Structure 1
Amino acid sequence: MTGVADPLSILLASLRDGYVQVSVFVAVTVLAFGLVQYRTDGALLRAIEDNERLQPLIGGLLGLTPGCGGAIVVMPLYVRGSVSFGTVVATLGATAGDSAFVILALAPEAALYAYAIALVASVATGYLVDTAGLGVTRVDAAVSRLSPGTTATDGGTVVNNRIGPNPTHDYPSGSPTHSHEAGPDRTSRILTPLSHAAHVAWWVAAVGGLVLGTIYLLRGGPEIALSVGVDFAGAFTVFGLTGGVLSLYLYAIGRHYVGEGEIARARDSFGSVYDTLTHAAMETSFVTVWVIVALAGYEYVVVLSGLDVAAVAATAGVLAPIGGVAVGLIPGCGPQILLASVYAEGALPFSALAANAIAQDGDALFPLLAIDPKAAVVATIYNALPALVVGVALFFLWEPVFGMPEFGFGVA
């Protein structure tokens, strides 16, 4: 972030960084999948829903795409009962998140190994959850005791020999076959045209933010001063704050007047390119709100407690991959980008990077947290288990088996 500790600067930096470092990349991936749905008239989602036995693999591959857009596409499908809980586990476990852009730019060989390992481990766990359960029901019950009154996961098993909605799941929409209806749910002589203008301005900010965010990642994710001017830091701040504020507006008000009264719901297809753009903007704005809350909350905790997350993750010995898992459990991509930057500097072993790649859920967890918090918690628990096993195993076996040092492996 900015390196400043006053509350207002932390809030502004979180608003700016959440948009430029995360949201613009989410927007690109969500838009890309939306355009595929539009051009194929919903064939992508139908293919996922129809290929029941391939769902964990498909979810893992979608999660593997840099950024979180691919994984975000899967979460609403679970809510409406179209994919299994094992698919959610596989998707979130394989999610590369926005830290992938840092690793791909600064340590491409390490990225190839880490995300391949994450894909295999996560998809295998997803299939085990669907076919064997792996005690999900007990974990679900334990989470219920901690947070009574929330909904249940689908138990992690195939229902009646087919992947489908579990009869015991209380779907928030009232039906697992929720049909999303496009279109605004309100009209106003002032707010309707204002919201459309805000939507267009949001995409202008997104294009500028994407350019700045890409440059930022290629530079290794340095600290950017919170300033206004004609230099890179000034443009970074202006585009970030503009896009962040517009995201808050679209989430709180605009979505009721331009296209998306409901969010975090699967769309079968889209009526036009503008409809597709609207959906991507509203879904991304929804994620942006959660990202800003997570970034600001994380920074406030660090400032108040003096906790150095990077130092904890870099603790010598087998605690390094365990630290990587611990960082991965933090929702959002901010801490993961930090860990990726530390790895690229040669300060972390590869086992910590691989463990973090499996444990992290990126921003894809935010929609699920908002819709079905218990399922999000249970999925996070099941991602942490293979992350710990793989991370500790790599710590002890990497150099003896592969003959390559863990520190600095694959750094360009």
Structure 2
Amino acid sequence: MNKRLGCRMSLNISAAQALEILVVSMRDSFLAVTVFVAAMILLFSWLQFITAGRFVGWIGENRGLQPLIGAMMGLTPGCGGAIIVMPMYARGYVTYGTVIATLIATLGDAAFVLIGAVFQDSSYLTPVIVVHTTSFVVGVSWGYGVDLIEVTPTTPLGRFGPKFGTDEPLGEEVAKAMEGKDSLIENLPREVPEGWGYRVLHQGYRIWWLVTAVGLCLAILLLGWYAQDPEYSPELVWDPTTRDGIVTWVGFIGSSLSIILYVSSKNFFADDTEATIGDKLNSLDETLVHAASETAFVTFWVLIAYLVFEFGMLLAGIKESDMSENGSGAGAVLVAATIGLIPGCGPQIIAITAYVEGIISFPALVANAISQDGDALFPLLVRHKVASIWATIHTTLPAIIVGLVFLWAMGQYPSITDALQP
């Protein structure tokens, strides 16, 4: 919800004020982000379920198109498409340039936050299209360039530099596990069906989907109410017989359930693993389970971002405009690209939320989008440590370059700024 509750600038925060910030942030994160993200994650998870096998076969049969196909898989919101590519590289099915193209193109789960902003404010449509298009184009071109000059983890400068060490082999256990397997999708690992977290997630996801469905209907109504009355802003009311009371309770319950699913999944910084991808791609029921879990993960980190921004501004006695001034220069581009070096989607969701909240500039957004690898780096790290380290470097360089180019262009042409900085 763009109409966030304002906070008084004070260094002293009362318990009531802190509770108000917490509940409003929970309400807004669920009704402004979660419900729309859930619909998108469910859609893309279903598409991955019915098409992933075709993509794997296609990319293996068309080596010359691999960076292009890899970027397409990375471009799909979420980390599933990118994660599938990583073990393919470890097996020798795809080139290193394909890995780079995939990692550059992916925005991970942070993409859902950015796309979800469009539902609240259509002015975000242009930035969403531009950042995804930029990531895709840079990913494809950089990926082909990497393969063209024969860049690999052991020759990080390609034909123009020395070779360091030898190619890192697969571990013995991994090699044995892969031996004789024909289908990458069918033979992805699965989650072990045991433990309290597994039971809570697999029994509670239906309740979560029910509340989320109610929340989606309510969020659509809120958009209509905003259109009818631009000055409308829901109050924090606990009376369930009132309109604002219903908004408060649905948002609060939805976020609470999301936090429970988040904790139950035990994936605190990276929600997608090869095991969860294996479950989703081989079972439609597991697709529903993990779509709920993935959305809960996004909800948790969006909530953290909201709380960091709100309490940070309150304690520091600053306004959003003050933070925006510090998030619009070359330093912001470098910081955003550096955040992208951190594996996992959690920190990246905070960075993307900062853009949606007007804290950082579009050039910083682009730098983070290109630099970040989402959860896809983890399976590569397990199989090929050298490749994972160099991949982060090889994706950060274009992130900084492209981010600075956008910074220059937006400084030269104010019309670009108007279009890309809502």
Query: Which residue of structure 2 lines up, in the alignment, with residue 239 of structure 1?
Result: 250
Indicate conservation of the 8 Å contact 2:67/2:101, yes or no.
yes
How many Å separate the matches in 2 of 1:342 and 1:242? 27
Q: Which amino acid aligns with 2:419?
A: F
Aligned length: 367
Superposition deviation, residue 279 in structure 1: 2.9
How many Å separate the matches in 1 of 2:275 and 2:220? 26
Q: Which amino acid aligns with 1:199?
A: Y
* Secondary structure in structure 2 of the residue aligned to 1:314: helix
Q: Which of residues 70, 80, 91 in structure 2 aligns to 1:73? A: 80
Higher mean alpha-carbon deviation, 379-388 vs 26-35, is at: 379-388
Q: Which of residues 274, 285, 292 in structure 1 aligns to 2:296? A: 285
* Secondary structure in structure 2 of the residue aligned to 1:266: helix
Indicate conservation of the 8 Å contact 2:105/2:132, yes or no.
no
Query: Which residue of structure 1 lines up, in the alignment, with residue 210 of structure 2?
Result: 204
* Secondary structure in structure 2 of the residue aligned to 1:98: helix
Structure 1 segments unaligned to the other structure (5+ residues)? 139-154, 158-165
Q: Which amino acid aligns with 1:409?
A: A
Query: Which residue of structure 2 lines up, in the alignment, with residue 180 of structure 1?
Result: 189
Residues 278-297 of structure 1: per-residue CA shift (max 9 Å, x gap): 23223333444454455545
Residues 160-212 of structure 1: per-residue CA shift (max 9 Å, x gap): xxxxxx73577998968772236733699xx95x7655211111122233345
Q: How does 1:8-407 map onto structure 2 within 5 Å?
A: 8-40=19-51, 42-48=53-59, 51=62, 53-64=64-75, 70-78=77-85, 80-81=87-88, 85-92=99-106, 96-102=111-117, 105-129=122-146, 167=168, 179-181=188-190, 184-185=193-194, 197-212=203-218, 226-228=236-238, 229=240, 233-253=244-264, 265-267=276-278, 270=281, 273-293=284-304, 295-297=306-308, 299-305=310-316, 311-314=322-325, 320=329, 322-323=331-332, 326-327=335-336, 329=339, 331-340=347-356, 342=358, 352-360=361-369, 365=374, 383-397=395-409, 405-407=415-417
Residues 271-319 of structure 1: per-residue CA shift (max 9 Å, x gap): 6543321232233334444544555455555555556665344359xx5
User: What is the root-mean-square deviation of aligned Cα atoms in Å?
Assistant: 5.2
Indicate conservation of the 8 Å contact 2:49/2:284, yes or no.
yes
**Quick one: structure 1 residues 57 and 35, their matched pair in 2 at CA, closer, same or farther if it must change by over 3 Å?**
same
Q: Which amino acid aligns with 1:42?
A: G
**Quick one: structure 1 residues 52 and 182, their matched pair in 2 at CA, closer, same or farther if it must change by over 3 Å?**
farther
Residues 218-239 of structure 1: per-residue CA shift (max 9 Å, x gap): 9699986554346665444433
Indicate conservation of the 8 Å contact 1:109/1:411, yes or no.
no
**Quick one: structure 1 residues 230 and 196, their matched pair in 2 at CA, closer, same or farther if it must change by over 3 Å?**
farther
**Quick one: structure 1 residues 297 and 263, their matched pair in 2 at CA, closer, same or farther if it must change by over 3 Å?**
farther
Query: Which residue of structure 1 lines up, in the alignment, with residue 164 of structure 2?
Result: none
Higher mean alpha-carbon deviation, 226-235 vs 172-181, is at: 172-181
Indicate conservation of the 8 Å contact 2:362/2:420, yes or no.
no
**Quick one: structure 1 residues 327 and 27, their matched pair in 2 at CA, closer, same or farther if it must change by over 3 Å?**
same
Q: Which amino acid aligns with 1:118?
A: S
Indicate conservation of the 8 Å contact 1:322/1:388, yes or no.
no
How many Å separate the matches in 1 of 2:130 and 2:241? 40
**Quick one: structure 1 residues 170 and 338, their matched pair in 2 at CA, closer, same or farther if it must change by over 3 Å?**
same
Residues 19-58 of structure 1: per-residue CA shift (max 9 Å, x gap): 4444444433332233234445833454456555545434
Indicate conservation of the 8 Å contact 1:180/1:267, yes or no.
yes
Higher helix share: 2
**Quick one: structure 1 residues 253 and 200, their matched pair in 2 at CA, closer, same or farther if it must change by over 3 Å?**
same
How many Å separate the matches in 2 of 1:72 and 1:335? 17
**Quick one: structure 1 residues 303 and 33, their matched pair in 2 at CA, closer, same or farther if it must change by over 3 Å?**
same
Structure 2 segments unaligned to the other structure (5+ residues)? 8-12, 159-166, 179-183, 341-346
Query: Which residue of structure 2 lines up, in the alignment, with residue 409 of structure 1?
Result: 419
Q: Which amino acid aligns with 1:90?
A: I
Residues 337-359 of structure 1: per-residue CA shift (max 9 Å, x gap): 4534549xxxx9xxx42441342
How many Å separate the matches in 2 of 1:276 and 1:335? 27
How many Å separate the matches in 2 of 1:292 and 1:172? 39
**Quick one: structure 1 residues 393 and 17, their matched pair in 2 at CA, closer, same or farther if it must change by over 3 Å?**
same
Query: Which residue of structure 1 lines up, in the alignment, with residue 343 of structure 2?
Result: none
Query: Which residue of structure 1 lines up, in the alignment, with residue 181 of structure 2?
Result: none
Instruction: Give the TM-score of the pair, scaled to structure 2.
Output: 0.62
Indicate conservation of the 8 Å contact 1:359/1:387, yes or no.
yes
Q: Which amino acid aligns with 1:121?
A: V
Instruction: Give the TM-score of the pair, scaled to structure 1.
Output: 0.64
**Quick one: structure 1 residues 56 and 19, their matched pair in 2 at CA, closer, same or farther if it must change by over 3 Å?**
farther
Q: Which amino acid aligns with 1:238?
A: W
